Amino acid sequence: MSEARADILGRVRRAQRSKLQQHEILEALTELGVAPPAPRDAEDILESFKLRLKLNHASLEACATRAEAVQLISHYVYQRCRTRKVVTGYDPRLAAMPWRDGGVLVRFDAATAEDPLSISYAKLAIAESGSLILFSNRSNPAANNWLVQDHIILLDQQDLVADFEQAWEKIREHQIETGSPRGISFISGPSSTADIKGHLVFGAHGPQRLHIIFIGPEALPP
Amino acid sequence: MKQDSLQFLNKAHDHMARPELRQHMDRLGVTLPLAREQAIAQLGNFEQLREHVKNIKNHTLENLDYYLTRYEEQVIQRGGKVHWARNADEFNGIVLDICKKHDAQRVGKGKSMVTEETDLTAHLQHHGLEVTETDLGEYIIQLAEEPPSHIVSPAFHKSVNDIRELFLEKHDLGERELADPDSLVQEARQILRAKFLAADVGIIGANALIAEDGRSMLVTNEGNGDLLSTLPKVHIVCATIDKVLPRPEDATALLRLLVRSATAAVMSAYTSFYCGPRGEVDLDGPEEFHVVLLDNRRSDILGSQYEEMLRCMRCGACLNHCPIYIGAGGHAYGWVYPGPMGSVLTPLLTGLEQSHTLPNACTACGRCAEVCPAAIPLPDLLRDLRAEERERGLSPLHWRLGLKLHAWLARLPRLYQVLTGLIVRLLHLCGRRRGALRSLLLSNGWTQVRDFPAPQGKTFKQQWKQRQREQSRE
Ligand code: SF4
């Protein structure tokens, strides 16, 4: 269909007003800058993030270390699913956690439809929208985000940023360090739908519950 | 989709004659706008952000060939393929070929207005494929064999009971209650989960294409698009050429406006940016990644007086604020896009001959332009289309004659004043007792459902003159 391509691009070229060179286009774009800063629900980004999570119908627990996080997860998993088994990707941070201390049996793999619960470790999080950013790759297969009923996402305090613009800057840095993933997802709540006459129902296709475990020295009980 | 936009008036009439839809209309026209207003107020800098996004979008359209080729380069670099389609036939052909190449039997589809435009589902089904819509709203109307009535909530016109009856009839699951939305959603989840797992090809739309990194932005609350981007072995993204934006920051700036304008939320549950097939060490993801780009007359709109329409982000706010859309219902518009945005787009994409009724479906109240996050002057574009309609002699003869008569009279101010003065006096006398008129010559449609308030006896000009005189006397 290269004929269609040439035809469409030819028509576009004839129709468009500007005949700028590449460097002029990029200069013009730089001049336009990025969007004005978004509002935050609170001055403090952590406060703002917590508030947003709540409005997004996600639940939150906080602790100071990864070892404590294992205990929280162990409890949550057993309470919710009466199981000790969870699935996670090959994230080195997850691989290094003391799962046995919490009696959690971890399988490092992509989730299947039989897995009730998965654990991911966020690359970043955004206070503006209460979003957790996950890369879809070996560290976190995309299926783990959407095939399960319960999704737990861990987040380190240092990875929380204020807004989308800061997030993209960091995402670029991550991509230089660890390569570009197939997918980048901003997860901001459990799967939901309002397609039946506007009634909000959770667990439309993906997780019914989204649980965040926040790890950081400033972690306060939510 | 078969078009019958010329039936607009008849269909709108039928829709308004159904009093059971009152509540539904209130939700559309009152609840949603109020919620949106709050979300926009919370944003604090709506005007500033809207201006920024408008400038970015204009810049992209002005240099569209550069950004499209840059986007294509990036997709190819990440192991994906970009296909170009001039029209619906080419578009459907490309998608079918990809499916055939993989011996696909089952296709899972996410929400995509582009594929509605080309009627892709019917085309694939015609060639023996099983196609399942996976967005819950789209799934419901697919079961009901109806077109969407709203661009964001396609099954908005269906009541809980309509959906319950539909599921009981179409899902062979024995006796069950299904009394509330929760159980309906659970049932759909169960049925559709099997479809996701069995699909050979996943087809989704895109809210934006990003030139810098070749990714496409996908915004959903359900997560169906993400499952389709992950589980099937072939992943196809369907988009039009006007969807491209320079940087990821531009896509998320647009997102701030889009989500608030569409659903009054701050953020959708899932916003994903995909490009390319699975990598060598990945544990999941498709083996092949395709993008199909449709033109379908958009290159004609580019550079024309209607170019601003290409900024539309399909948020649906103009629909929820349009008194005509709310009264007439989405199906009256007779094609894929309803409401103010549809009344502009449909004539541009399908020709005025097929749809010249639509630009007339406007009271010029201006609410759509006020709320449009893309700052599109919808009423102006509708007016230009009406002017074109008249120039090309498409409007009914009696309308054109009426307008001619009015134009002639308006150029004779004296006569105009005398005549309007007489008519106003006459109406005043007729309606003196009740202050309103029950019927009116040539305006039956109006007085059938409400009274016409009787004028006070003088025209505006007469009253104005009188006031001036009184004031100078004082
Ligand atoms: S015309 Fe504006 S308000 Fe209407 S759908 Fe498009 S962006 Fe939204």
Q: Please state the domain count of chain B.
A: 3
pLDDT in tens, B112-153: 999 999 999 999 999 999 999 999 999 999 999 999 999 999
What number is the average pLDDT over the span B382-394? Answer: 94
**Whether residue B282 has pLDDT greater than 80:** yes
- CA A122, CA B341: separation in Å to the nearest integer? 39
Q: Are residues B251 and B193 in the same domain?
A: yes
Residue B22 main-chain phi, psi, to 5 deg: -55, -50
Are B388 and B417 within one domain? no
* B329 within ligand 1 shell (Cβ under 6 A): no
Are B386 and B279 part of one and the same domain?
Answer: no
ipTM for the whole complex:
0.96
Question: Tell me, what DSSP letter sits at residue A47?
Answer: H
CATH of the domain at B113: 3.40.50.10420
- Strand-by-strand arrangement of the A59-63 sheet: A59-63, A209-215, A150-156, A117-121, A85-88, A105-108
Q: Is ligand 1 within 6 A of the CB of residue B316? A: yes
Q: Are residues B383 and B467 in the same domain?
A: no
Is residue A121 within a helix (H) or strand (E), and if so which, with residue range? strand A117-121
Give the end of a domain, one of B299, B325, B348. B299
pLDDT digits (tens, 9 = 90+) for A8-44: 999 999 998 778 999 999 999 999 999 998 888 888 9
In the reported structure, the alpha carbon of residue A43 is separated from the centroid of ligand 1 by a whole-number distance in angstroms of 32
B353 and B208 housed in the same domain: no
Instruction: Enumerate domains of chain A plus CATH numbers.
Output: 1-34 (no CATH), 38-219 (3.40.50.10420)
- The DSSP output letter for A200 is -
Please tell me the distance in Å from A158's CA to the nearest CA on chain B. 22
A vs B: CB pairs below 8 A: 258
Assigned domain for B2 exists: no
Secondary structure of residue A94 in the 3-state scheme: helix
User: Do residues B359 and B443 share a domain?
Assistant: no
* B461 and B326 within one domain: no
pLDDT of A221 strictly over 60: no
Residue type at B125 in one-letter notation: Q
Instruction: Tell me which of B96, B180, B272, B308 to substitute to probe the interface with A (most A C-beta atoms closer than 10 Å).
Output: B272
Asked if B273 and A35 come within 8 Å (Cβ–Cβ), the reply is no
**Tokens 């007439």 appear where?**
B328
Distance CA A99, CA A77 (A): 12
Closest CA to B129 of B201, B234, B191: B201
Q: For A202-222, what is the mean pLDDT? A: 86
**Stretch B66-89: mean pLDDT, rounded?**
98
On whether both B391 and B250 belong to a single domain, the answer is no
pLDDT for residue B452 is more than 90? no
The dihedrals phi and psi of B442, each to the nearest 5 degrees, come to 70, 5
Give me the pLDDT at residue B260, please: 97
Do residue B389 and residue B423 come from a single domain? no
Contact state of A182 with B90 under an 8 Å Cβ cutoff: no
Residue range of the domain that includes B360: 316-397
Give the pLDDT confidence score for residue A220 in this predicted structure. Answer: 56
Among candidates B42, B84, B223 on the partner chain, residue whose Cβ is nearest the Cβ of A8: B84
Domain stops at, among B270, B299, B328: B299
Whole-number percent of chain B with pLDDT over 90: 82
Please count the CA atoms within 13 angstroms of the CA of B195 that sit on its side-chain side.
25
Per-residue pLDDT of A63-108, as tens digits, reads 999 999 999 999 999 999 888 999 999 999 999 999 999 999 999 9
Same domain, B113 and B67: yes
B310 is a domain residue: no
B22 pLDDT band, cuts 50/70/90, is confident
Q: How confident is the model at residue A197 (pLDDT cuts 50, 70, 90)?
A: confident
Do the domain assignments include residue B149? yes
Residue B25 lies in a domain: no
Kindly list the residues from chain A whose CB atom is less than 8 angstroms away from the CB atom of residue B202. none
Domain boundary among B397, B421, B436: B397
Is residue B32, in this structure, part of any structural domain at all? no
Closest to B153 measured CA to CA, from B191, B113, B193, B120: B113
Residue A219: the pLDDT is: 58
Mark whether B426 and B457 lie in a shared domain. yes
Considering the domain boundaries, does residue B278 fall inside one?
Answer: yes
- Shared domain for B246 and B106, answered yes or no, is yes
Mutate to test the pocket of ligand 1, among B219, B261, B358 (most ligand atoms within 8 A of CB): B261
Q: Is B193 a domain residue?
A: yes
Q: Is residue B10 part of a domain?
A: no
Sheet hosting strand A183-187, strand order edge to edge = A160-161, A124-126, A131-136, A183-187, B270-274, B216-220, B208-210, B244-245
β-partners of residue A154 are A121, A213
- Mean pLDDT throughout B365-386? 97
